[in-house]
């Protein structure tokens, strides 16, 4: 199935733009209760005068213990986007021809697949051909369930776990056994409220068939994909102090989310269900008509047209003062647009 995306998916991202960071930036999904104090302390203590261990021996071991897997299954990545491009390249080099994406998904899946000549499909049904399948749960942009389908009919499946640590409701629709059959992609900088620190890692499937793909992925890795600050973030996020902080921050985010949905509904918006620290909404006035006026007041949302959801915006959950700024700025901009 092909969607009409009027803007190339790779051209849009949330977060800072040419005007810098918006004062009330709803367009990104980092933990607004952050940053995590334990990780901040680790970043300040990092020794940037030296390279990290190029094999990341201790880091791999630490992450492996946290996830209960063998250390050789851990793949260090510069970021989630870097790994998305690297595994797409490795899949194409191994003779792969197709990439299957969710109906609505992060643009870099498609961008990477297209860059490496993979045919992009948006379907949950198997086609009988080896494919690199992408899943994300909670999904982006909707924050909903994205059950890993037909894992036995494809040669590789990547489960993007970016928002699992920020799950506020519901339960994962896959169990530990299913996770062991797919690639897991983790980007804890979002959960730690430090998206500016670029560091991620993947966990390879527990099956012999993944060995050749894993080898190509490792061969494609640059030397030192992350520096000492990335190491500090990844080492610290799995520790007791950071995990306790994260658990407490989720309680804060749940309260903020309930308040933010009520506020959006008071504006006449239709809020879609979401299990994560963000949600989508159909606005009463098309966001592109008001975007410039809102940005001038320090408010930024994420237009969902590039996700295949025209007329909708995605909003990360922010504190009450930012929510109030959104309501006031939207009301003024909508009224001005009527005259």
d(CA 258, CA 205): 37
Distance CA 316, CA 208 (A): 39
Look up residue 27 and give its two tokens.
């367009």
Per-residue pLDDT, 153: 55
Q: How buried is residue 277: exposed, middle or buried, by Cβ count under 10 Å (0-12/13-18/19+)?
A: buried
- Mapped onto helix, strand or coil, the DSSP state of residue 280 is strand
Dihedrals phi, psi of 183, to nearest 5 degrees: -80, 130
Residues paired with residue 75 on neighbouring β-strands, in sequence order: 202
Q: Is the pTM of this model over 0.85?
A: yes
What's the start-to-end Cα distance of the chain, in Å? 40
Query: What gap in Å lies between CA 273 and CA 145, rounded to an integer?
Result: 10
Per-residue exposure over 170-195, b if at least 16 CB sit within 10 Å of its own CB, e if not: eebebeeeebbbbbbbbbbbbbbbbb
- Whether 103 contacts 121, CB under 8 Å: no
CA angle 250, 66, 181 (to 5 degrees): 95
Q: Tell me how crowded residue 124 is: count the other CB atoms within 10 A of its CB.
A: 15
- Give the angle 172-26-104 at the CA atoms, nearest 5°: 50
Contacts by 251-255, CB closer than 8 A, 24 or more apart = 252/33, 253/31, 253/32, 253/33, 253/166, 253/168, 253/277, 253/317, 254/168, 254/169
pLDDT for res 1: 36
**pLDDT at site 339:** 72
Instruction: Please give the class, per CATH, of domain 14-29+242-338.
Output: alpha beta
The helix (H) or strand (E) run that includes residue 330 is helix 320-338
Task: Tell me the CATH number for domain 37-238.
Answer: 3.40.640.10
- Every domain of the chain and the residues it spans: 14-29+242-338, 37-238
Q: Which two tokens stand for residue 225?
A: 């994909």
Q: What is the DSSP string of 111-160?
A: HHHHHTTPEEE--SS--SS-EEEEEESS-TTT--------GGGSSEEEEE
Q: Give just the sign of the alpha carbon dihedral 223, 228, 229, 230.
A: positive
Per-residue pLDDT of the chain (339 residues; tens, 9 = 90+): 334 443 344 456 677 888 888 899 999 999 999 999 999 999 999 999 999 999 999 999 999 999 999 999 999 999 999 999 999 999 999 999 999 999 899 999 999 999 999 999 987 565 667 889 999 999 999 999 876 555 555 679 999 999 999 999 999 888 888 899 999 999 999 999 999 999 999 999 987 667 889 999 999 999 999 999 999 999 999 999 999 999 999 999 999 999 999 999 999 999 999 999 999 999 999 999 999 999 999 999 999 998 989 999 999 999 999 999 999 999 999 999 887
């Amino acid at each position: 199935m092909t969607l009409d995306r009027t803007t190339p998916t790779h051209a849009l991202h949330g977060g800072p733009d040419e005007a810098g960071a918006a004062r009330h930036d709803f367009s990104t999904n980092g933990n607004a209760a952050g940053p995590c104090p334990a990780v901040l302390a680790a970043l300040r203590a990092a020794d940037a005068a030296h390279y990290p261990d190029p094999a990341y021996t201790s880091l791999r071991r630490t992450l492996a213990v946290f996830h209960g897997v063998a250390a050789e299954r851990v793949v260090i990545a510069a970021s989630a986007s870097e790994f998305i491009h690297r595994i797409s390249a490795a899949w194409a080099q191994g003779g792969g021809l197709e990439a299957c994406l969710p109906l609505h998904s992060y643009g870099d899946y498609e961008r990477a697949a297209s860059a490496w000549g993979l045919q992009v499909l948006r379907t949950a049904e198997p086609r009988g051909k080896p494919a690199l399948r992408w899943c994300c749960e909670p999904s982006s942009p909707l924050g909903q369930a994205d059950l890993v389908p037909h894992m036995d009919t494809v040669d590789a499946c990547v489960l993007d776990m970016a928002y699992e640590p920020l799950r506020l409701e519901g339960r994962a629709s896959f169990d530990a056994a299913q996770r062991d059959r797919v690639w897991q992609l983790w980007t804890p900088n979002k959960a730690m409220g430090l998206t500016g620190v670029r560091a991620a890692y993947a966990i390879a499937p527990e099956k012999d068939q993944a060995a050749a793909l894993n080898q190509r992925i490792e061969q494609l890795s640059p030397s030192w994909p992350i520096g000492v600050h990335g190491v500090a973030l990844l080492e610290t996020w799995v520790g007791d102090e950071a995990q306790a902080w994260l658990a407490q921050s989720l309680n804060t985010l749940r309260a903020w989310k309930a308040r933010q949905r009520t506020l959006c509904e008071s504006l006449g918006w239709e809020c879609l269900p979401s299990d994560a620290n963000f949600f989508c909404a159909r606005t009463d006035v098309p966001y592109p008509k008001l975007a410039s006026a809102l940005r001038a007041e320090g408010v930024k949302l994420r237009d969902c047209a590039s996700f295949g959801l025209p007329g909708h915006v995605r909003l990360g959950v922010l504190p009450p003062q930012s929510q109030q700024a959104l309501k006031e700025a939207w009301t003024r901009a909508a009224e001005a647009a009527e005259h």
